[in-house]
């Protein structure tokens, strides 16, 4: 989709409600407000709508939890939704393998099919949410996916969210994620995708709110930026999210180099740029480049941030009074956001948008379950086989051990949805062996600490069975994002391997 965001001065626009020069279609009594008339271009409708807004109303639309403007017929909208490997944090959905597993498939067509399925489910769930009045966080159509950071250090807890260490593979698969999520309609977005976290964001988690990533220009352009460039210039990704950290001394969410020079000028990005969550407050609490929240909000807005995930942008009113920002800049950032809402069809009759026709039956359907199964098979990497595999179904005795054999949590990974068809590894193996097979299961060892009880019944029993399956690894309790890894003493990273 070619996305054109108009640059204009709203102060010179005559109110649509009192103008005689507006389109006759805009005065169609079928629509309570002219910006709901689908026969008018998005840009014209945007101008009419914004001309009616007060400065406080404009500012209210620049945070992720945009408030309703009832007098103008603008509904509330929460921009924060996740779909890392399936619609996430929003109830029932198909759960696909983590991106690090999808990266191991090396299969662009498969990735496109997966995220087409994800966007199908997203559209169906959104329609139902609207019907029941659910406008909550995670119930929208703007997905902060994919994560195209480079998994350069294997100790980083969020590496599971990425497609690995290779910039080319990440670029190729990331583009298919975007295309699957956004669709191919010439006018409407199926959903909005987001390239994150821009840029040079690969840990450490504990220092991300204050860390300055120092890299050479060669490494920046050959390692950390290729995937972002591909998603912007080839896949037309709708949004880009700035990272928490600084890059070469500048906060990533207010970097002249990254945002002004590279993203907007060199790559011609015309979508909206958003902050990672509460990253703007890091300007004055972690990076110490501003003195207070008003200065931080102004710095972010002036450097290209349209959407604040956090609570810093309400201070733009104070920043405006102090002369740190202009209303013209606020208007431009507002335009970048509302074009997305228009492209999603949120101001059009459902009959105009083909993506509103997705039926509820698609959610976690058999076809999507088969697709998830196919992806899981292709994601697996067999390191070595000394003639042991495949195991026969009619084993007489089978021993299963390990901390993750009976743990469904490890199936979910990071930023996950909830499937009503979860089958953990112990259940799956038991369902496939002969009904006459004696299956003995013991956890054997704790996941992230030494066994407290010195008596061990597990390891000794293995020798008496025809085969032993050991299910090892760690879960997101120990490895993951800063606030998710409840058992991690290092906020989600591993200090060694």
Contacting residues for 163 by C-beta, under 8 A, at least 6 apart: 99, 100, 102, 103, 146, 148, 151, 169, 170, 173, 174
Q: Which of the 8 DSSP states describes residue 275?
A: E
In 63-128, beta strands by DSSP E: 65-66, 77-78
Do residues 397 and 437 touch, judged by C-beta distance below 8 A?
Answer: yes
Question: What is the distance between the alpha carbons of residues 99 and 166, in angstroms, rounded to a whole number?
Answer: 13
According to DSSP, the residues that pair with 239 across neighbouring strands are: 194, 272
Helix or strand or coil: residue 332? helix
List Cα–Cα distances, 155 to 143, 161, 215, 492, in angstroms. 27, 13, 19, 9
List Cα–Cα distances, 120 to 10, 114, 125, 343, 359, in angstroms. 37, 10, 9, 17, 9
Give just the sign of the alpha carbon dihedral 97, 99, 407, 380: positive
As given in the structure block, the two tokens for residue 242 are 């700035």
* Run of H or E residues at 177: helix 167-182
Residue with tokens 């950071």: 149
Helix or strand or coil: residue 144? coil
From the list 120, 276, 331, 493, the catalytic residue is: 276
Contacting residues for 257 by C-beta, under 8 A, at least 6 apart: 247, 248, 250
Label the pairing between strands 77-78 and 467-470: unpaired
Residue with tokens 């990272």: 243
Give just the sign of the alpha carbon dihedral 149, 150, 155, 159: positive
CA 5 from chain centre, in angstroms, equals 23
The residue among 343, 296, 309 whose CA lies nearest residue 197 is 309
Terminal Cα distance for the chain, rounded? 44
- Total residue length of the chain: 497
Active site residue 276: yes
Kindly list the catalytic residues. Answer: 276
């Amino acid at each position: 989709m070619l996305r054109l965001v108009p640059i204009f001065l709203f102060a010179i626009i005559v109110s649509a409600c009192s103008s005689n020069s507006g389109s006759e279609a805009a005065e169609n009594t079928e629509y309570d407000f002219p910006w709901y008339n689908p026969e008018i271009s998005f840009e014209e409708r945007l101008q009419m709508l914004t001309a009616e807004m007060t400065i406080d109303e404009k500012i209210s639309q620049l945070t992720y939890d945009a408030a309703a403007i009832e007098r103008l017929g603008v509904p509330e909208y929460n921009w924060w939704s996740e779909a890392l490997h399936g619609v996430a944090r929003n109830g029932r959905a198909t759960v696909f393998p983590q991106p690090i597993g999808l990266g191991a498939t090396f299969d662009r067509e498969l990735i496109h099919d997966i995220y087409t399925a994800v966007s199908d489910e997203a559209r169906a769930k959104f329609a139902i949410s609207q019907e029941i009045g659910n406008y909550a966080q995670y119930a929208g159509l703007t997905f902060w996916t994919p994560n195209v950071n480079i998994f350069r250090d294997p100790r980083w807890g969020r590496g599971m969210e990425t497609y690995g260490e290779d910039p080319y593979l990440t670029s190729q698969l990331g583009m298919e994620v975007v295309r699957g999520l956004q669709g191919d309609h010439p006018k409407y977005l199926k959903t909005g995708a987001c390239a994150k976290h821009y840029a040079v964001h690969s840990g450490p988690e504990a220092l991300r709110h204050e860390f300055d990533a120092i890299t050479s220009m060669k490494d920046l352009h050959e390692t950390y930026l290729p995937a972002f460039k591909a998603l912007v210039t080839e896949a037309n990704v709708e949004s880009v999210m700035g990272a928490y950290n600084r890059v070469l001394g500048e906060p990533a969410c207010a970097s002249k180099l990254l945002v002004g020079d590279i993203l907007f000028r060199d790559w011609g990005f015309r979508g909206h740029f958003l902050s990672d969550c509460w990253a703007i407050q890091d300007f004055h609490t972690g990076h110490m480049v501003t003195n207070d929240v008003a200065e931080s909000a102004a710095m972010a807005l002036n450097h290209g941030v349209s959407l604040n995930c956090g609570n810093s942008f309400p201070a733009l009113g104070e920043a405006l009074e102090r002369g740190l920002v202009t209303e013209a800049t606020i208007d431009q950032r507002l335009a970048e956001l509302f074009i997305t809402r228009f492209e999603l069809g949120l101001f059009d009759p459902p009959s105009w948008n083909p993506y509103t026709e997705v039926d509820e039956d698609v959610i976690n359907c058999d076809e999507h379950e088969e697709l998830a199964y196919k992806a899981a098979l292709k994601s697996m990497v067999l390191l070595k086989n000394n003639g042991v595999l495949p195991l026969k179904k009619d084993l007489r005795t089978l021993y299963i051990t390990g901390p993750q054999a009976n743990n469904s949590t490890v199936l979910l990974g990071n930023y996950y949805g909830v499937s009503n068809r979860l089958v953990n590894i112990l259940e799956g193996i038991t369902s496939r062996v002969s009904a006459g097979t004696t299956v003995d299961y013991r956890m054997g060892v704790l996941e992230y600490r030494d066994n407290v009880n010195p008596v061990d019944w597990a390891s000794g029993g293995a020798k008496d069975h025809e085969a032993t399956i050991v299910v090892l690894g760690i879960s997101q309790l120990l490895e993951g994002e800063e606030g998710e890894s409840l058992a991690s003493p290092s906020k989600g990273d591993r200090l060694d391997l």
